[in-house]
Structures are given as C-alpha cells and as structure tokens.
Amino acid sequence: MITDASVGVVGKLSALDRFLPVWIAAAMGAGLLAGRWIPGLGGLLNAVSVDGISLPIALGLLVMMYPVLAKVRYDRLGAVTTDRRLMWLSLTLNWLLGPALMFALAWLLLPDLPEYRTGLIIVGLARCIAMVIIWNDLACGDREVAAVLVALNSVFQVVMFGVLGWFYLVVLPGWLGLPQTGLSVSGWQIAKSVLIFLGVPLVAGYFSRRLGERTRGRVWYESRFLPRIGPVALYGLLFTIVVLFALQGKQITDRPLDVARIALPLLVYFGLMWAGSYALGKGIGLSYERTTTLAFTAAGNNFELAIAVAIATFGATSGQALAGVVGPLIEVPVLVALVYVSLAVRRRFTTSSATMSAEVSHERS
C-alpha cells in the first residue's frame, strides 16, 4: 500500500509530459531563432491577423485550451461555486494583491525605465484566462475549480481592467508624487480577448462533453475520447510558444540587457504570487487540488491582452510592448517549473496520507 502511494507522479507521466520543459525550451529557442534569422517572418505572422488579433496565436491557444476544457465535468460546477472562501480569496489575490505587487516591483526595480515599468504594470493588470488552464491540468489541480475561477476572472477583466489601469498609471502615481501615464483601452478590446480565448474553447468543451456522454456514455467519453485529444493541448501550447517568440525574436535578442532588467521583477512576482497563494490556500484548509488551482490562477497573467494593449497604446516597437513580450518569456519556464514543484508536493502529500492510513490499520489490527 505504501509502495504504491510512494510512486512519483512525474514518473507516471507520458514521455510528452515528462520532458515538457525540454520541449518548451526547444520551442522558445526555435521561435527566437526563426524570428531572428528568417527574413520577414515577423511581418508575415503579424499580417495574418483580424481586428488586431494574431490568427496563429489565436489558433494555438484555442487548440491548447479545448482538450482541457473538454475534460471539465460541468455538472460539478455548482458545488464549486458554494465555496465562498475560495471565490473571495481568488478575487482578492487576482484583483487586489496581484496588481499592487506588480506596481510595487515595477517602481522598486525599474525606477529609471518608465516604458518598461508601465509595460510591467499592464502585465500585472491582465489576469490569466487562457494558459493557466493547462498549467493547472499538468499539476493535477481541480479542473472544475479552474473553470469557475477563470470564468470569474474573465468577467472582472472586462469590468476592471480599464479602471485599474487608470488607477495604477494615473491616480496612485499622482497620490505618491510620481510620474503619470495614460492608458487607452476600450472595453470591447478586452471583451473580445475574453470571448475568443476563453469563450470559444469553453463552449466547444461543454458541448463535446454533453454530446459525447449523451451518445456514447461517460465511460466511453472519459476512457476513449479524452485520452485521444489530450496530447493536442500540449501540441497547441508548443505551437503558440514558437509563434509568440518568432514574432518578437529579433526584439528580444537585440536587447538582452533590457530583457534581463525586465525579467527580474517578473521572476519575483511569479514566485511571490504562487508561493503566497499556495500558503494561503493551505492555511484555510483547502485540498491539494484546490490549493494548486488557486496558486496557478493567481500567478498567471493574460500576456495576449497585455501585449495587445501595449501595442495599441504605445506602438509595436515601444518599451511597453517589449515588457509585455518578456512576460511569457519568463512566465512559461517559471510556471512549468512550478508545475513540477506542485507534483512533488502532491507526491509527498499522497505518501504521507498512505503512511498514516497504514499506521491506523496496523493499530486497529
């Protein structure tokens, strides 16, 4: 009994999952090299867009998110929404602590670089509604909780992004006697991001489960259909990373020192948000699955929206846009590493639970 529980979670993963950091590093490197050495690639990828949305990136994200959202058991969502502690804690972390922490780090670590500082503050305001789904799934978090929290973030993103942008770039700097920066962003621009990157795969995943279970049953759907489409999510992730870094490869490789300066507050931010959220979740007695979901939804950011807003307001070659691009350059490897940290925590938790059960059984016998 103890031996079975002690088997490492990572060791049970498929080769695709187990070597995910290798594939992601290769995808980042391939994207950077392609953007640097293939003439006109960035312009070609940028040209394939509709209403400011890159079609290759949109395609990659939709392919990435659909299999994960198809796994969600939507009949369980009602039970998730009854946990008010979880809902309020997530909202507090995402819309109060997260933006405030990024504001503080940007001013503390980039006081002499106003464009990069503004770009980082925009990143802090864009709460994650897309890629966090796959990080949570890889870390064996609670899929139903993730779906609810991401949906909650999407609603608040439409309502609060512009308001918080005005507060952190104009009002709060004015109160503190610091330079102010304007931010021009429409509610439709934010709503469009939510509808495309969350709405489309959510609807597709929901109807896949409803139709699959109705026609073939839940056993077939979960034992046959889901395993077939599961790897597609990681292929979509790798494709998205290649395209994203190909778009900005030259800009990143041309300014390595600037990238390093931008990376420092991002590293601190992701580490503090994840660890702090994890500690709070455990502190109020949440399970491993829900604590993990809370931590990843609080630490992740919507880099698609942040980059789009920075480019629309300040231009594609601006420092603000570069800061937005560096966001996923740091976020992707950091959150992949935190996936493995989470799995190690889960393995210890499982081992401890198995050991305790064995001791209780021995005492009873």
User: Is the per-residue pLDDT at 357 higher than 50?
Assistant: no
pLDDT of 315 reads 72
Q: What pLDDT does residue 4 have? A: 39
The winner for highest mean pLDDT among 25-34, 38-47, 165-174, 300-309 is 165-174
pLDDT band at 187 (very low <50, low <70, confident <90, very high): low
All domains of the chain in start order, with CATH: 2-358 (1.20.1530.20)
% pLDDT > 70, the chain: 87
Residue 290 has pLDDT above 90, yes or no: yes
Average pLDDT, the chain: 83
Mean pLDDT along residues 262-282: 95
Whether the per-residue pLDDT at 175 is higher than 90: the answer is yes
Q: How far is CA 148 from CA 114, 131, 285, 300, 311, in A?
A: 36, 15, 19, 15, 30
Q: Which amino acid is at 259?
A: V
For residue 263, give the amino acid letter: A
Q: What is the mean pLDDT of residues 121-125?
A: 93
Write down the pLDDT at residue 121.
95
- Cβ count within 10 A of residue 324: 29
| pTM of the shown model | 0.79
Banded model confidence at residue 355, pLDDT cuts 50, 70, 90:
very low
Cα angle 192-198-201, degrees, rounded to a multiple of 5: 120
